[in-house]
Amino acid sequence: MKKISILLVAVIAAAAITSCKNADSTSKATKDSAQVPTAYAYTIEHPDNWEIGSSANTATALSALKSWEKGKFDECVKYFADTTQVMFDGMDKKLSNDSLKVLLIGSWNNYKNVSVTMKDWESVIAKDKSEEWVTLWYVQYYDDGKGAKDSVSVINDVQIKNSKIVKLAEYTRKFH
């Protein structure tokens, strides 16, 4: 019985040592492959420039959208800087906070009601800390002024500086 116990302990010890060596080599291989530059099909000035950003920036972008969804425009514009660049299909303008509020109210007036189903978000910061962005992916459901129901897939890219939205780029795809 004593021989079996010694044999069992030896087998377990060997398995543990082998497992640790495999884990170390896997970890080393992962680190090595992360340092090998990838050959991309296109080149840009700053490849792989982004790191995970601030959850506070995500909260700012989400709160601004929620305020717009609920038709609370005074609250919504509080998340924006004094001047914001807005980029929608067919529009690229810098607007004062007051002009932005007028634009948001005008866009919402096309709807009887609106609801947003959030799909995902990502906050990123440039490695040199020069830019911070939040991207939101969501579906917007709405009833137009005539009562017709519809929906659109939306991506918002929001640049945040000093805890305020300074750029808003919106991309939409209507469902068929």
Same domain, 15 and 58: no
Q: How far apart are CA 173 and CA 176, in angstroms?
A: 9
Structure confidence at residue 11 (pLDDT)? 45
Same domain, 26 and 93: no
Give 114's strand partners.
142
Same domain, 108 and 82: yes
Structure confidence at residue 137 (pLDDT)? 98
Q: Considering Cα of 26, then 31, then 35, then 41, what sign does the dihedral take?
A: positive
Same domain, 30 and 54: no
Q: Considering Cα of 11, then 17, then 20, then 26, what sign does the dihedral take?
A: negative
Same domain, 22 and 68: no
CB atoms near residue 114 (< 10 Å)? 16
Same domain, 16 and 59: no
Structure confidence at residue 86 (pLDDT)? 98
Judge whether 43 lies within some domain.
no
Same domain, 32 and 54: no
Task: Please give the residue range of the domain that contains residue 29.
Answer: 1-36
pLDDT tens digits for the chain (176 residues)?
Answer: 445 455 444 445 545 555 555 555 555 555 555 567 788 999 998 889 999 999 999 999 999 999 999 999 999 999 999 999 999 999 999 999 999 999 999 988 889 899 999 999 999 999 999 999 999 999 999 998 787 999 999 999 999 999 999 999 999 999 87
Same domain, 7 and 87: no
CATH number, domain with residue 95 = 3.10.450.50
- Overall number of domains in the chain: 2
Q: Considering Cα of 87, then 162, then 118, then 150, what sign does the dihedral take?
A: negative
